[in-house]
Amino acid sequence: MSSSLIQTENLVKTYDTGEVPLRALDGVSLDIARGEFLAIMGHSGSGKSTLMNVLGALDRPTAGRYLLEGEEVGEMDVEELADLRNRRIGFIFQSFNLLPRLSALQNVMLPIRYRVGNRIGGEEREEASIAALESVGLGERLHHRPNQLSGGQQQRVAIARALVNQPALLLADEPTGNLDSKSSEEIMGILHTLNRQGVTIVMVTHESDVANHAGRIIHMKDGKIISDGQNGKMSQERAQ
């Protein structure tokens, strides 16, 4: 078996809007190896988020295959998909999507609470969640609610939440889209570190300096991949 984490074949997603069906994904075939750091770029409406949602098992494609770690995602039932989202994929969003009524710690603990099987006790959960928050530099902000945190801090809580069940894959849809450049750099630094620790990262971004953190960049247009290549700048950096 190859070391592919993700394999897609001819992914198609159509929306019935108006007379002509809209092809948000139009035959996307993609192979992502374990440990890669991939950036997806493209104009607005080119299908980046649609692809991310399919990869994150939040959405089902109209046609095509999606294999995660060699398993056919299209054949999974509701419970298996939930388990996939819970343990094997971490998802972070442009708008953070933290639950406003819960503290940072409670937000991070949620995925553990929803975990089915190999349950751990309350104390261990808290320890694991605190460790995740510490790893993103928020050990001091455990009991703050999202509205008591800056945007960058909120996104770091979201990363901790995505990581707490130790998934192999982290999906990030414009993670720095709502952040200033300083916070963006911090977030990218964290993603970098995670990638070096072996987490596969797929990230959507509009900004090329953000994309330049990735080892591989693909461009999308009208639901298709129009270019796919190693990031030259990145390889130079690595070579040095």
Partner 1 sequence: MTLIEVIGLAWEGLVLNKLRSFLTTLGVIIGVAAVILMIAISAGAEAAIADQINALGANLIIVTAARGVPGRPPTLVYDDALAIGRTVKGITGVAAEQNLADQLIKWGNVSFTTPALGTTPDFPVVRGAPLGVAHFFTQADLDRKNKVIVLGSKVAQDLFGEVSPVDQEVVFGTTRLTVIGVMAPKGKVADTDYDDRVYIPLTVLYQRFLANPMMNNRVRTVYAQATSRETMDSAISQIKSVLAQQHGVTLANPDFIVQTQEDIIQTQQATTETFRTLLGWVAAVSLLVGGIGIMNIMLVSVTERTREIGVRVSIGARPQDVRRQFLLEAMILSLFGGLIGVIAGVGGAWLFDEMGAMRTVLVPWSLGLAFVASAVVGIFFGYFPATKAANLDPIEALRHE
Ligand X SMILES: Nc1ncnc2c1ncn2[C@@H]1O[C@H](COP(=O)(O)OP(=O)(O)OP(=O)(O)O)[C@@H](O)[C@H]1O
Q: Whose Cβ is closer to Mg ion: residue 12's or residue 82's? A: 12
Q: Show the tokens assigned to 86.
A: 């819970």
Residue 1 or 78 with smaller CB distance to partner 1: 78
SS3 content of the chain, % helix, strand, coil (to 5): 40, 25, 35
The contact mask relative to partner 1 for 63-102 (x = CB under 8 A, - = no) is: ---------------xx--xx-xxx---x-x---xxx-x-
Instruction: Give 49 or 176: the residue with its C-beta nearer to Mg ion.
Output: 49
Q: Quote the least distance from Cβ 52 to Mg ion, whole Å.
A: 8
Quick one: tokens of 232?
């030259």
Strands (E), 34-189: 37-42, 63-68, 71-72, 89-92, 169-173
- Of the pair 115, 206, the CB lying nearest partner 1 is at 115
Residue 37, binding choice from partner 1, ligand X, Mg ion, none, Cβ under 5 to 8 Å by partner class: none
Buried b (16+ CB within 10 A) or exposed e, 3-40: ebbbbbeebbbbeeeeeeeebbbbebebebeebbbbbb
Angle, helix 104-113 to helix 151-163, in steps of 10 degrees: 20
Q: What residues from 25 to 64 belong to the interface with Mg ion (CB under 5 A)?
A: 49
Chosen residue from 5, 38, 50, 172 binding ligand X by CB under 6 A: 50
Our finding on whether 46 is near ligand X (CB under 6 A) is yes
For position 48 contacting ligand X by CB under 6 A, the verdict is yes
Q: Give which of Mg ion, ligand X, partner 1, none residue 115 binds (C-beta under 5 to 8 Å, depending on kind).
A: partner 1
